[in-house]
Chain A
């Protein structure tokens, strides 16, 4: 079956702009989580959505937001981009209760210049 699909793979934006990243989870997975990965901070949790509801939110400013649609696809948005937002943004889907862990997408590499 198809894996977790993230688009776009690469993105270059200018400071102050906004960006929207997309994630399509594995069919049947209703939980979608987003992580930011940087060399200095590692993998940091952004938020988790389940059945179109944000179930958890990490310690990120309000410029970071997300949503989930009825088909479980999810988007995250970052407004007023800062240089420090440059990172690999990873989406992961999972089937709640199963012992299979997260399945990560390939990520979106965001560079803010």
Chain B
């Protein structure tokens, strides 16, 4: 079946530094979604990218979808302590309704 991989698994940054997490799928995706899970919380939907090469921004967060629609990245500029959490990417299984395959997540820790 489809596999979605994320790197790195963990990232420690000093507050104010930038952060990037990368997501790779074993298959071409119709779309890619990103979620954030705070410690002790549940995943919260951030964004969905659909078009090849698409770039979307949400304040300090920049999301990219690769040209081949098999990879994606999330970049955070000037991290803040409120950015702490685990970031997951997820892609839909082909022809499988609403089923998503999640990457393993990147846990971001920010030192103040």
Give the interface of A toward B (CB within 8 A).
31, 33, 35, 42-43, 45, 48, 50, 55-56, 58, 90, 92, 94, 96, 99-107
Contacts and interface: CB of A to CB of B under 8 A. Distances in A.
B10 interface: no
Contact of B43 (A45, A100, A102): A102
B73 interface: no
B101 A45 contact: yes
Given A99-B50, A102-B43, A107-B42, A42 B105 contact: yes
Contacts of A104: 42-44
A43 B33 contact: no
Interface in B82-112: 88, 90, 93, 96-105
A58 B99 CA distance: 9
Interface residues of B, number: 25
Contacts of A43: 43, 88, 90, 102, 105
A96 B45 CA distance: 15
Contact of A56 (B35, B42, B93): B93
Contacts of B41: 106
26 contacts: A31-B97, A33-B99, A42-B104, A43-B43, A43-B88, A45-B99, A45-B101, A48-B97, A50-B97, A55-B98, A55-B99, A56-B97, A56-B99, A90-B43, A99-B31, A99-B48, A100-B45, A100-B48, A101-B45, A101-B48, A102-B33, A103-B45, A104-B42, A104-B43, A106-B41, A106-B42
